[in-house]
Amino acid sequence: MDTARDGGSWLCHNFHRMYQHLLYAAQDSVATITVNRPSVRNALNRATVKELAAAFEQAKADPAIRVAILTGSGDKAFAAGADISEIAELDEVSGAEFSRQGQAVFDSIEALGKPVIAAVNGYALGGGCELAMACTVRIAAENAVFGQPEVKLGLIPGYGGTQRLPRLIGRSRALQLLLTGETIPAYDALMLGLVDSVVPLESLLSKAQGLAQQIAANAPVAVNLCMQAVSLGRHSDEAELFGKVCGTEDMREGTKAFLEKRTAQFKGR
């Protein structure tokens, strides 16, 4: 089996569907995707991860959607981790396949082409922390708790945690969390740079929605190319992308509106 391709097959183009483990809502250019398994603290079993792939493909394919918000149902957990009963049955071959499948989905979220805001409401542990890190921006409620406790179970992170955590908070601090399995509260995560802001739980979604609307008001092509430039991380790529955006209708409209002292009307072209 081509496990990388099998992982990619989860990225299905099923845009108009009901989800068993998620809630999907779209309003005012923003898609809100909610992991809806509160009885198990929104744990990420295979079926839920597969549905996340479909939901984000739905948001990507919808031209009306400019930003996505990802959160968890209830007030206890964003996603408390992977389904340990599934992991306990893995062997060396199936474990690698399991990891590649999840990585493909989380990579697709990171590379969506539209900003994804994680609104972290409670526990974000293991796979849940990895899911939050795959998002563009992370806003945490005051009750949020983060960590990669896999070593306590004889495991390591499998959905990108060993790669994204060092990029966000630095190698040494990431290794301390990874090797101890320690969990940290929201304000410690803010201090480390793992999250971008901390707000009261009751303000979490309104804060995320406000940020989403602020981003959605900007030129979609420029937002997309700005994200690409940051990901590529080279001056030469930035210059090429800057040139590309200079050829868009939105750039003409944005600069003209500025000079005419009016609000720009962006079309995403």
Catalytic machinery residues: 130, 150
261 class by beta-carbon count within 10 Å (0-12 exposed, 13-18 middle, 19+ buried): exposed
Q: Please, where are the H alpha helices in the chain? A: 3-8, 46-61, 84-87, 92-110, 127-133, 161-169, 171-180, 186-192, 204-216, 220-232, 235-246, 249-259
Q: How many CB atoms lie within 10 A of CB 251?
A: 17
Give the span between the Cα atoms of 13 and 53, in whole angstroms. 9
Q: Which residues contact 26 (CB under 8 A, 6 or more apart)?
A: 32, 59, 62, 64, 65
Give the span between the Cα atoms of 257 and 162, in whole angstroms. 45
Give the span between the Cα atoms of 221 and 231, in whole angstroms. 15
Give the span between the Cα atoms of 54 and 176, in whole angstroms. 34
Q: Which amino acid is residue 109, in one-letter code?
A: I
